[in-house]
Amino acid sequence: MKEGSNYKIPKNEEKQHESGVIMKILIQNGRVIDPVAGIDKKMDLLIKDGKIIKIAASIKEKADETIDATGKMVVPGLIDMHTHLREPGREDKETVRTGLRAAIKGGFTAVCPMPNTDPPCDNQAQVKFLKEKAEENGIAEVWPIGTITRGRNGKALSEMTELKEAGVPAVSDDGDSVEDAGLMRRALEYASMIDLLVISHCEDKKIAGDGVMHEGYWSTVLGLAPIPAAAETVIVERDVRLAALTGARLHIAHVSTAESVDVIRQAKKKGIPVTAEVTPHHITLKDEDLKNYDTNLKVNPPLRSISDIKALKEGLRDGTIDVIATDHAPHLVNEKEQEFDHAPFGMIGLETALALSAALIDEGYLDWKALVEKLAVNPRKILRVPGGTLKEASRADVTIIDPGRGWVYSKESSESRSQNSPFFGRKLKAQVTDVISGGKIVLREGEIK
C-alpha cells in the first residue's frame, strides 16, 4: 500500500508496532550464509526478544512463529549505504516511511539517507528528525549521512563533531563534489581526526557541463549532450591523492568508469584508505539503452559503455569495488516526462537491487558469499556500524532470499512513492521473501506485515 496524503496506518499494522517483537521466531532448513562467522551451510536459526540466540544444524524448540526456508538463503539483513529518502523537503517524491517500506521489500534492514534534502542534514536536529521518523515506522534502521559543508554549499565545513555525536557514520555532499580542493583537504583532515568516513560524489561539473549521457558513439547518434568519463575520474584521482595526504577514510560513491576503477585499484595497492561502491543499474544497463530516450535511464553518473560495465564487474570480482549500493533516487512522473535534457537525473532501485545484483552470480563474477559481503557486510565495516552477522547474541536482522524464484517488478507492487524505474515489467530472478528487522517479522512471503 502506498502512502498518500490521507494515509493511515492499518489497525493490524498499528497493533504489531505497539506489541513489539514476537517472543520466538524459528527459521528452519535454510542455507545460512554469514561471511563474518564463516558459515555457508544448511542450518536453523532461533530468535528471541530481538536477538539471535541460537544457530545450529537442527533446532527442536517451540516458537511463536516458524519460517520454513527450504531452498532459500538466510543471510544478514542487507544495508543500503546510499539512499535518497527525500524527506524533509520533497515528501511528494518519497518519505522516510515509503522509502523504508521499499527498502524492506528489497531485503534491506537498514539504509543510509544522503543529506541532499531541503534543508540538508547538516546539524544535529536534522539527524534526530530522521532517526525519530525511522523509529515511528519501526521496520528498518536509518543511519543518516551528514553534509561535508554547511548547507551543502561547498563554502564552509559542517560541524562534523556534532554530526558524529548525533549518530552519523559518514559525511557527504552527495549530488555535488566539493569543488574547492583546499576545502576538501581540510574536510578529510577534520574527518580523520574524529574517525568519520567521507563519501565523495566525484564529478567535475566544469567538465560535465550540460551533459546528460555518457560521451561516446551513442551520444553522437542520439544527439544528446555528452558527459566525458574524465568528469568523474579527475575528481576520483584528486580525492584519492588527498586521502593519501591526510590519511582519512575515503569512500567513492557510484563508480561508473573503467578509469575510475583503475585509479581505485592502484590506490588500494598503495595502502591508501579508499573504498568504493557501484550501483546495480550501472552494471546492468548501458548507454546504448538510451536509444528510446527513456528518461528513467537518465542517471548521474550516466550509464556507461560496455567496456566500462565489464571493468565495474571485474572490480567487484577482485575486491576493488567493495559495495553495491542503490542510489535510490525518487522523482515524480511529470518530472521524468519532460524532454530528456530537462528531466532530472535518477531512478529508484531499492526493490530491484538484490535481483539485479544476483545476475553477477550467473555471470560468474561473484558467488553468494561474495554478494552478501557487498550488500550486507562490507557497507557496515566501512561505515563502522553494527550488524552484518548472524552470530549468537547479535541483533536479529535477517533477510531470506529465494534464489531461483522468478518475479516481475510492477508499479502496482512497488512500495516507493515514485515510479521512475526502467525495470517495471521486467522478469527478474532471485526474490526476497521474508525479512526480520530487530527481531520483528516485517516481510512475510513478500508482503509487508
Give the catalytic positions in this structure.
Answer: 327
- The span from the CA of 90 to the CA of 101, in Å, is 17
- The span from the CA of 238 to the CA of 80, in Å, is 26
Instruction: List, as one string, the DSSP characters of 139-176.
Output: SSEE-PPBPSBGGGSSSSB--HHHHHHHT-SEEE-TTS
E strands, 117-256, are 141-142, 170-172, 197-200, 213-214, 226-227, 250-252
- The span from the CA of 242 to the CA of 331, in Å, is 34
371: left (phi over 0), alpha (psi -120 to 50) or beta: alpha
On whether the CB atoms of residues 102 and 338 are closer than 8 A, the answer is no
Torsions phi, psi of 106, nearest 5? -90, 0
Within 8 A by CB and 6+ apart from 382, the residues are 81, 197, 249, 251, 275, 322, 323
- The span from the CA of 246 to the CA of 320, in Å, is 21
Within 8 A by CB and 6+ apart from 17, the residues are 9, 138
Rg (CA), the chain: 21
On whether the CB atoms of residues 156 and 130 are closer than 8 A, the answer is no
